[in-house]
């Protein structure tokens, strides 16, 4: 019988593989509840496919859990049972204790990022092979949507390589997560108690926000076409 898996907020049926059978044996020894198992599968699939785990809010939205405390109860249970590790005070700091093998010369294709402002789309599960040029476990790829970064030679449809980190120096190009949950690719300028997210397009105005989180810093661009 097929397993129910999770990829990019859409349930789909996947045929059991050796990896899935190993996962089934692992979870079976931990005596998980059905909800704990599904939360763990979501965490595992997102880390595998996009390079990092979900936030508490994303887990709540995925399973209709309105209270953050309800999500935290499941995360604490998974941590007690040795399946995950969490770092305090970090929204995306859920890690697996299970070692996941990745392709040696590929990066996770995390989806689309707007050079305007939009929610990140994590429905892509492909990888892109760069023969080790960017081969690091703390990096992933996003495809750019929009033209707000064209003066930085980043066009609609190009791919940016993102170094996962939660801080950035003034003037660095970052993927920033806004309080609304939307994310955008912009230059990062903290100033006067707020953040200026500066586009690289003379026809566009900067975006000012009081609070934003750095998801990662752009470290490379791959042109999609000439």
Domain end point (choices 62, 96, 130): 96
* Residue 118 confidence (pLDDT) above 70: no
Query: In this structure, how many other beta carbons lie within 10 angstroms of the beta carbon of residue 147?
Result: 17
- The region, left, alpha or beta by phi > 0 then psi within -120 to 50, assigned to residue 108 is beta
Where is mean pLDDT largest: 17-31, 105-119, 186-200? 186-200
Neighbouring residues of 23: CB distance < 8 A, sequence distance ≥ 6: 41, 44, 98
pLDDT (tens digit, 9 = 90+) per residue, 130-140? 544 455 667 88
pLDDT value of position 195 = 96
Query: Tokens 């019988």 map to which residue?
Result: 1
CB-side exposure of 197: number of CA atoms within 13 Å?
A: 23
Same domain (yes/no): 147, 168: yes
- Over residues 143-165, the mean pLDDT reads 90
Q: What is the mean pLDDT of residues 137-155?
A: 88
Q: Give bridge partners of residue 220 from the DSSP assignment.
A: 161
82 assigned to some structural domain: yes
**Residue 101 placed within a domain:** no
Phi then psi for residue 35, to 5 deg, are: -65, -40
**For 50-78, how does the pLDDT look when each residue is reduced to its tens digit (9 = 90+)?**
777 888 888 999 999 999 999 999 999 99
Q: Which residue has the higher pLDDT, 72 or 98?
A: 72
Within a domain: 54: yes
Q: Which residue has the higher pLDDT, 92 or 197?
A: 197
C-alpha 188/C-alpha 199 separation (Å) is 9
**Looking at the structure, do residues 180 and 157 belong to the same domain, yes or no?**
yes
Same domain, 81 and 113: no
Residue numbers annotated as active site: 148, 186
What is the average pLDDT across 186-190? 96
Q: Give residue 91's pLDDT.
A: 57
- Do β-strands 106-114 and 139-145 pair in parallel, antiparallel, or remain unpaired? parallel
Could you tell me the pTM of the whole model?
0.48
| Residues 118-143, mean pLDDT to the nearest whole number | 60
Q: What CATH number does the domain containing 111 carry?
A: 2.10.109.10
CB atoms within 10 A of CB 189: 16
Can you give the residue range of the structural domain that contains 148?
106-222
% residues pLDDT > 90 (the chain) = 34
Q: Domain tally for the chain?
A: 2
């Amino acid at each position: 019988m097929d397993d129910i898996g999770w990829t990019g907020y859409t349930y789909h049926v996947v045929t059991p593989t050796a990896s899935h059978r190993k996962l089934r044996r692992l979870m079976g020894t931990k005596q998980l509840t059905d909800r704990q198992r599904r939360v763990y599968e979501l965490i595992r699939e997102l880390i595998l496919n996009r390079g990092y785990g979900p936030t508490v809010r994303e887990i709540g939205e995925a399973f209709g859990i309105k209270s953050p405390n309800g999500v935290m109860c499941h995360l604490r249970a998974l941590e007690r049972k040795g399946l995950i590790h969490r770092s305090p005070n970090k929204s995306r700091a859920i890690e697996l204790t299970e070692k996941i093998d990745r392709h040696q010369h590929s990066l996770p294709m995390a989806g689309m990022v707007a050079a305007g402002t939009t929610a990140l789309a994590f429905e892509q599960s492909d990888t892109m092979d760069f023969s080790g040029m960017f081969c690091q476990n703390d990096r992933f790829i996003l495809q750019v949507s929009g033209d707000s970064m064209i003066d930085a030679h980043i066009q609609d449809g190009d791919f940016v390589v993102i170094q996962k980190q939660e801080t950035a120096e003034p003037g660095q190009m970052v993927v920033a997560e806004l309080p609304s949950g939307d994310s955008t690719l912009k230059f990062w300028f903290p100033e006067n108690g707020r953040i200026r997210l500066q586009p690289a397009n003379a026809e566009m105005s900067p975006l000012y926000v009081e609070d934003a989180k750095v998801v990662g810093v752009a470290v490379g661009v791959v042109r999609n076409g000439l």
